[in-house]
Amino acid sequence: MFEATTILGYKGDFNGKSYAIIGGDGQVTFGNCVLKANATKVRTLYHGQILSGFAGSTADAFCLFDMFERILEGKKGDLVKSVLEFSKEWRKDKYLRKLEAMMIVLNKNSIYILSGTGDVVEPEDGKIAAIGSGGNYALSAARALDKFANIDPKQIVQESLKIAGELCIYTNTNIKILEIE
């Protein structure tokens, strides 16, 4: 588990529309010190069709992003084919297998967690994924809100990340959210 951040991805339907949403806090820590409180750890990929966010070492995460973006371009934005190719390439490279970072990537149809060890994991429910030190707090909150509250997906992500920021010392409430509607 990274003492790094909190990223939460959500894919689902609300009021007849499909959504893909990702959010992350803005805190960057080094040991027990906060280096920056307003970092952006979420971004769009492949012409705004894919959402992504990272937790872990920033340099390693940028390496992950670069590699994944290259694969996405080669697969013409096909997320499923891209995550499978990503995993294959990852396993072949000794250096890459040691990266200390994780990513969530999603669109309206699919959501995956990509690890620095080359693993590709689809969440059990197929719609909510979280990574980082506050990930379990955000995931629990998102599952509860998704199941029991009648609120839009963006609000589910926002409120879940706020809860994580209140509980996890490596997560703040300076939240950035991206969505595909």
| Amino acid identity, position 103 | M
Q: What is the DSSP string of 99-121?
A: --EEEEEE-SS-EEEEETTS-EE
CA distance 38 to 48: 22
Burial of 112 (0-12, 13-18, 19+ CB in 10 A): buried
Measured CA to CA, the distance from residue 166 to residue 148 in angstroms comes to 21
Two tokens at 116?
């620095």
Residues 6+ apart with CB under 8 A from 21: 9, 10, 11, 51, 153, 154, 156, 157, 177, 178, 179, 180
Active site residues: 5
Tokens of residue 43, six digits = 């971004």
Structure tokens at 175: 């939240």
